[in-house]
Amino acid sequence: MRLRTPTNALAFKRRLLKWFRREGRSLPWRETRDPYHVLVSEFMLQQTQVSRVQSYYARFLDRYPTVEALARAKRSAVRAVWDGLGYYRRAEHLHELAKTLVRDHAGIVPDDPDRLRRLPGVGTYTAGAVATFAYERRVPAIDTNVSRVLRRAFLPTLDDGAGAQRRLHGLATVLLPRRRSTAWEFNQALMDLGAMVCTARAPKCPVCPVRQACRTGRRPR
C-alpha cells in the first residue's frame, strides 16, 4: 500500500538523524556490511537483548568467521557455541541457512528481501534488516520497536486489524531517505529511538528528539 508522505515526515527524519548521529548506539554489527555477519547478529537479536548478544556475537564469529565455516560445522558444535543464549531453534535455523547458502547460492547472502524470505528461519523483519543493514537497500525493517515509534509518531489511532502491517510497511517505505547510506542510518535510528527513548511502557516524550514532529508527543498532557 502506497501512502502519501505525512506532513510531519521531513521534520521527523531531520530530527531523528541528527539525534542518531550524536546519540546512536555503537554496536559491533554496525561496524560491518558483511552480510553473513549481519545475518548472525539478526538471528541472535531475535527476542534477546542487545547487551546479551554482544559477547556471543564476537565468540560465534571467532569460531565461524564465514558462511562456509558455519556450513561445514557439526550441529552439536554450533549448539555448543550458542549455549547460554537460548532459543536454540535460531542456531539450528542459522546453521541450516548457511548450508543452503553454500549449496544453492555459492555462499552469497541475497540482497533482495523476497529472496531472503525464502531462506530457512528468515521472516519479513530479518529479510528487511539484512537487506538494509548489509546492503544499504532502501527497504524497511520493522521490528516491535520500530512499529511502536511509527505508530506513535504518525498513526496513533491505527488498530491491529487487517491491513495494519501493510499500512506500517507503506509508511516506513515512504519515509526512507533517498540515499542508501542515509536509509541505513534512518532504519538504525528508528531502532535506537524505540529502544532508548520511545520505549513501550514509559516513553520519554519530554526529552524526545522528534517530539515536535510526533503526533503523540505533541498532544497536550
Nearer to ligand SF4, 39 or 197 (CB): 197
Dihedral sign for Cα 180, 184, 189, 194, please: positive
Name 201's Cβ contacts closer than 8 Å, sequence gap at least 6.
Answer: none
Nearer to ligand SF4, 74 or 201 (CB): 201
CB of 168 to ligand SF4, least distance (A): 15
CB of 53 to ligand SF4, least distance (A): 24
Inter-helix orientation angle 50-63/35-45, to 10°: 140
Report CA Rg, the chain: 18
Closest CA to 98 of 72, 80, 79, 130: 72
Name 178's Cβ contacts closer than 8 Å, sequence gap at least 6.
Answer: 138
Nearer to ligand SF4, 110 or 203 (CB): 203
CB of 211 to ligand SF4, least distance (A): 4
Cα 5 to Cα 14, 171, 172, 188, 198, distances in angstroms: 14, 8, 10, 20, 22
Q: Tell me the three cell numbers of residue 46.
A: 531475535
Residues of this chain that interact with ligand SF4 (CB under 6 A) are: 149, 152-153, 197-198, 203-205, 208, 210-211, 214, 216-217
Nearer to ligand SF4, 8 or 46 (CB): 8
Q: Tell me the three cell numbers of residue 97.
A: 541457512
CB of 17 to ligand SF4, least distance (A): 14
**From 23, 31, 42, 68, active-site residue:** 42
Ranked by CB distance to ligand SF4, the top (closest) residue is: 217
136 catalytic residue (yes or no): no
Active site positions, annotated: 42
